[in-house]
Amino acid sequence: MKVAVVGATGLVGTKMLQVLAERNFPVTELIPVASEKSVGKEVEFKGKKYKVVSMTDAIAAKPAVAIFSAGGGTSLEWAPKFAEAGITVIDNSSAWRMDPTKKLVVPEINADALTKDDKIIANPNCSTIQMVVALNPLHKKYKTTRIVVSTYQSVTGTGVKAVDQLRGERVKQVKGETTDYPMAYKYPIDLNVIPQIDVFLDNGYTKEEMKMVLETKKIMRDENIRVTATTVRIPVMGGHSESVNIEFENEFELADVRNLLSSAPGVVLVDDPATQQYPMPKDAHEKDDVFVGRLRRDETQPKTLNMWVVSDNLRKGAATNAVQIAEYLLANNLL
């Protein structure tokens, strides 16, 4: 089982190597791939060093699967070349997500749609993944009609540059030291909140917000779900949080909602207001589950639920979901 990780030296690529090792995915040969400037560098996997190779060399090595996390432009250019060579690509960028010929997969929800012919499989946006994992068991029973979601997203979702900016600002704030650090954002992020993730579109929403709208419909296989989103960057180092307001077609009981979430795959219910138990990013750090809490009725209208959803965006929101797709393909002889 040869496995290529494209973008192996990046923040998500490094996490993918970690998750592959932790989950004991049966890698017989790792092929780490990165940009030309990184070729020849070494990455570590299960205690062994591997040299980073070029895209061309990776294709020539004929891996069974290639997990991409190298940006949309790279995926658009190279994923078809890998696919033409018979290599199954699981792509973490936004390049293929809304392509009607490509599957957009969260294994707990719609992996059953995959076939051997799917050579480019899209991994959804991190904020979408955690929301739909929590939503799916409820949607099956009560049928979702509308979602209002506000996100509180970690700087790790932007990348290393944003992490360095937050750390640099924190050192300057706490120690008064003047240090050089990159600016991933137009504004300071420490002690601040930035209500913009990705670029603004003509409708006034950001690209991240519209990803949540469109991807949710595609993953849930229901174009009638109405979704509106506000996505916000906060000074947290790891883990995305979401306030989700869900209107259902059918009436629900909170006790039944709790039972459904407690038994749902990939979901951990943390919901005890009496003891101040609720999900927080620090508790989700380095975990693969989606944590749900603050369950309560929306008292302003019927059949509507409020919930709070937290997950590690580099794991379930990216690396783990991609590896779970690979696991499903392997288990079902689709590689």
Residues with a catalytic annotation lie at 126, 240
Separation of alpha carbons 113 and 220, rounded Å? 12
Give residue 90's identity as a one-letter amino acid code.
I
Separation of alpha carbons 290 and 317, rounded Å? 9
Closest of 70, 128, 79 to residue 99, by C-alpha: 79
CA angle 120–118–93, rounded 5-degree value: 25
Closest of 40, 14, 35, 16 to residue 27, by C-alpha: 16
167: CB partners within 8 A, 6+ apart: 181
79: CB partners within 8 A, 6+ apart: 68, 89, 91, 95, 96, 120
